[in-house]
Structure 1
Amino acid sequence: MSFGARSRAVFATLGTLGLSLAAAVTPASAAGGTLTTPTQLFNGYRNCSTDANRPVYLPAGNNVVVEGIPGTTDTTGSSVVGVRYQAWPVTDPSQAETVTRDRATPGSEATSLLPDDMLADGQTYAWRAQTVAGGTASDWSAPCYVTIDDTRPAGVPTISSPNYPPDRWNQGGDPVTFTLNANGDDDVTGFQYSWTQPVPVIVLADFDDHGIPQPRDPYADPAHFTRVDAPGGSATIDLVPPYGGGPVTLWVRSLDRALNPSETTSYRFYVSPTPPTITPADPSPGFGETTTLTLRPDTGLQSKSPVVSYSVHTFGGPDGDKNFDVAAAVDGTATTELTLDGIAGEHVQVTSRSANGWVSDPASWGVDYDTTPTVASDVYPENGSGGGAGRPAVFTFTPKAQGVVSYTYSFNAEPEITVAAGADGIASIDWTPDSDRPYDLQVYATTRSGIQLAVYDYSFTVD
């Protein structure tokens, strides 16, 4: 388990302030007012239980964190108080020990640790808190009850599935039914499971601005936790894998009342591919064109649960990757328009989502094209030689893409120059070399919408 990032800050504070263990303490001074009993009591970032018959089960491997909000009637905001925590085994109250947080702010949680040397596995303890300051103390709070559980479940759960057996390929589309069994280990009260490994740590609480824990009940998340039907018993769950095809693994571990986990076990099964189909209206569209894509569901998925939407991921465009959803018709089909503005092509991945939450494998479609300009010279042929130093030449740039309005060029990495294109997208430049040597001309076109197209390298030698 993990107490999260907040707990690390809490422990650091405690280390700075220090803890004192004694039967009697010298409390901090307070500006004035009447001290009030601490409220908002928590242990291990879980709610305090004042019912001796229903203690909170906690591991003590990392100590037991206790906390409460000290109070005073002083409204000036200048009071500095302390909090005294007293704990004892319920079987022997005479063995009480006291821990004091010497300085605390009224209205905010004051955190301390129960004495580690008194906490024994399997034993139940009571603890209480009072506000202290200037030699005075508030009334004690009602006792909170904690049972220490440092023993993890001994065995791993067994896992079975009636509709996705592990030894063959299965048609996807239905949620996977799993039966998780603790096999009679009555220390087990629930299970945690995940499609990823390692299984995530259990987050016990969130915290507000005053450090007050907002405890989380892990079992409120049925996508990752479930309780057993009885201690040591079993649970049946229905889950949808995060992806729709290939080998799939569920990782599972048992939990006891203190949320101590067992070792992790796994269940691996196989799902046949279920991608949708993507059909473009034009099978080979070019740059700047808009084409309509028709999306159709896998028939097996559609028969299990109707496809209600598609998630479309496009990549290769000038503004980076894009993601959007498209609603499906009653028959599971959908259409979407795609404008091809990637300078080297456009590619799409599409997954379908069924009414029951099943997500298919991705289907892919794409087209590649060339948006570099065509470069020609009357004197200096590409990959050849000619002319000579001081001999002028004309270079002509012709577009392969629609909507070109200018060209930007550079000889041998000199500063770039931009020239306008004519109405037909063609431009010409006059150039005269200053010496006999190899040259590299780099040129790219820019469209009316401001997209810089692919660069073309034109090499030649002046001799």
Structure 2
Amino acid sequence: MNRTRAARTRAAFASLAAAGLALLSVAAPAHAVGGAPTTPTDLYNELRACSTDQAEPVYVAGRAGVTVEGIPGHSDPGVRWVTEQFRAWPLSDPSKVVTADRGYAYVGNEATATLGGYNAPLLDGETYAWQARSVDADTGAASEWTAPCYVATDDTFPNAEPTVSSPNYPQGRANQGGAPIKLTFGANGVSDVAGYAFTWIGTFPVPGGASIGEHGIPEYHDPYETSPNYFARADSLGGSATVSVMPPYNSGYLVLRVASMDRAFNMSQPTTYYISVKPDAPTVTKVSNSPQYGKQATFKLTPDPGLQAVSRVVSYTVRHLGKSQSQTTVKASASGIAELNLTLDDPYGDVLLVTSTSANGWVSQQQWWSTDGADTAPTVTSDVYPENGSGGGAGVPGTFTFTPKIKGAVSYTYSINWGEATTVKAGARGEAQISWTPTDSGWYALEVYGTTKDGAQTAPADYFFTVN
């Protein structure tokens, strides 16, 4: 994008004088008792230190005005408040002065104001000089103006989305995961691209920001330096950037959005880059014999061979979703294999969600292992009324036998057609038997669950049959 930058020198101040600039308005009295205001220090614009070199201005978006700040001063230690005044002008026409006051500015601390804004917009593509001074609100005495700071306004967004390519994770094919993803971003012909923003989560972070230190002095966070997982500086203005990154998640289908940014952090329309990763989830194997519900089970965790070949798996992250919920990290052996002991405590089914982490930080896709309620629900059989079949008849008694799938069953609670529940004791081997006589023909449902000696209830078993 093209912009004009007036090649002015400090002769601009002579133009200001010729324009007959009046002193700016003075705020309400600040109770000055002596001494004189002193020239502000520590000047910043949009949280960045001001540039006193008009050939190297700070680039800013001026559409909402430019926030400027400085620390006002006064030689009388008893003066706490002054007015800090700011003025700015475009180097191409120093007569177009923009002003702003900050009344009741606390002496010794940063005071801010906004030059320009929606009601008095700054010119796009211009270089502005700005200054600040301290004014004694009681006497009207003013300090010298500071040396000028320079900002260049840029409200024009890059007009082409960037290009994206990867030598080791190209689009259009399934790629072996495990290695960092190398990406090259290109400006696509836009001459003032200064860097790139990229995100795996759909939304772009806001570049910049600052930590506020003593006396309100900002410590600017250069996004290219402080957030390398989201921003990459171009190797030259209008140039490209190359990054090597790990995705924050791995579903097997990764979506990266990339936007180019100019020096004022205006973003282009984004490019979307799609990466397909071969399945690389670990294998989860239960090695203990049909674990007792409520007891500890043993699992073997084995890495994906392709992933292990790229970078050795060093640990596994296991989320247990059961009656209780937990997350555990298990270290792997040199071969990438780990063993996990875990109590399965949900009668309706436990779920394990397992990912592996490689030595280089790559996180695999997620493996799902689960049980279901059928693993704890009792077994129901009948000599007269078979499951999902028909038999007997009205007035014909039938026997139903409840057999446990887990140890420790002490009773069973059952109901017919979801009516009143009845509890019967279990025998020495955990079995129970009931006799039931239907009064009418038709379709019936028997539901039964067991209770263990520890008071835990199993999942219910549903048994359907038809009375002739």
TM range (shorter): 0.7 to 0.9
Kept after mapping to 2: 8 A contact 1:28/1:80: no
Q: SS of the counterpart of 1:237? A: strand
1:214 is aligned to 219
Distance in 2 of aligned mates of 1:60 and 1:248: 36
Distance in 2 of aligned mates of 1:444 and 1:211: 67
Letter aligned with residue 27 of structure 2 = P
Deviations 1:318-358 (A, max 9, x none): 333x2221121111111121111223221101111112222
Query: TM-score, normalised to structure 1's length?
Result: 0.74
Kept after mapping to 2: 8 A contact 1:172/1:244: no
1:5 is aligned to none
Q: SS of the counterpart of 1:345? A: coil
Deviations 1:105-157 (A, max 9, x none): 34544221102436211211111222322234553333221011111112222
Alpha carbon RMSD of aligned pairs, Å? 4.5
Structure with greater Cα Rg: 2
Q: SS of the counterpart of 1:302? A: helix
**Distance change in 2, residues 1:408/1:42 (3 Å):** farther
Deviations 1:248-279 (A, max 9, x none): 22211111111111111122232111111011
Q: SS of the counterpart of 2:350? A: strand
Distance in 1 of aligned mates of 2:116 and 2:158: 25
Number of positions where the alignment pairs a residue of Structure 1 with one of Structure 2: 416
2:328 is aligned to 324
**Distance change in 2, residues 1:270/1:374 (3 Å):** closer
Q: 1:305 Cα shift?
A: 1.0
Which of 331, 338, 342 is the aligned partner of 1:334? 338
1:389 is aligned to none
Deviations 1:264-308 (A, max 9, x none): 112223211111101112263231111121111100011111111
Which of 350, 354, 362 is the aligned partner of 2:354? 350
Q: How does 1:138-177 map to 2 (within 5 A)?
A: 139=143, 140-177=145-182
Which of 191, 200, 209 is the aligned partner of 2:205? 200
Q: 1:67 Cα shift?
A: 2.0
Deviations 1:139-184 (A, max 9, x none): 3333221011111112222122222221222222222222221144
Distance in 2 of aligned mates of 1:423 and 1:198: 62
**Distance change in 2, residues 1:202/1:444 (3 Å):** farther
In the alignment, is residue 26 of structure 1 matched against residue 26 of structure 2? yes
**Distance change in 2, residues 1:405/1:142 (3 Å):** farther
Kept after mapping to 2: 8 A contact 1:49/1:144: yes
Q: How does 1:218-237 map to 2 (within 5 A)?
A: 218-220=223-225, 221-237=227-243
Distance in 2 of aligned mates of 1:165 and 1:295: 30
Letter aligned with residue 336 of structure 1 = L
Distance in 2 of aligned mates of 1:24 and 1:87: 12
Q: 1:362 Cα shift?
A: 0.6
Deviations 1:226-248 (A, max 9, x none): 12222222222222233335332
**Distance change in 2, residues 1:283/1:161 (3 Å):** farther
2:129 is aligned to 126
Kept after mapping to 2: 8 A contact 1:126/1:146: yes
**Distance change in 2, residues 1:268/1:456 (3 Å):** closer
Letter aligned with residue 304 of structure 1 = V
Q: 1:207 Cα shift?
A: 4.4
Please list every run of 5 or more consecutive structure 1 residues that lacks an aligned counterpart in the other structure.
Answer: 1-20, 376-396, 410-420, 427-441, 459-463
Moved more, 80-89 or 23-32: 23-32
Q: SS of the counterpart of 2:360? A: coil
Q: 1:402 Cα shift?
A: 6.0
Which of 245, 249, 262 is the aligned partner of 2:255? 249
Q: SS of the counterpart of 2:193? A: coil
Which of 55, 63, 74 is the aligned partner of 2:57? 55
Q: SS of the counterpart of 1:360? A: coil
Distance in 2 of aligned mates of 1:81 and 1:283: 81
**Distance change in 2, residues 1:283/1:180 (3 Å):** farther
Distance in 2 of aligned mates of 1:124 and 1:402: 82
1:305 is aligned to 311
Q: SS of the counterpart of 2:89? A: strand
Deviations 1:81-128 (A, max 9, x none): 322112122344444332112233345442211024362112111112
Q: 1:372 Cα shift?
A: 7.0
Letter aligned with residue 205 of structure 2 = P
Q: 1:72 Cα shift?
A: 4.5
**Distance change in 2, residues 1:283/1:452 (3 Å):** closer
Deviations 1:163-215 (A, max 9, x none): 22212222222222222211442211211111122333334334469755332
Kept after mapping to 1: 8 A contact 2:255/2:275: yes
Distance in 2 of aligned mates of 1:399 and 1:141: 88
Letter aligned with residue 267 of structure 1 = Y
Please list every run of 5 or more consecutive structure 2 residues that lacks an aligned counterpart in the other structure.
Answer: 1-20, 381-401, 415-425, 432-446, 464-468
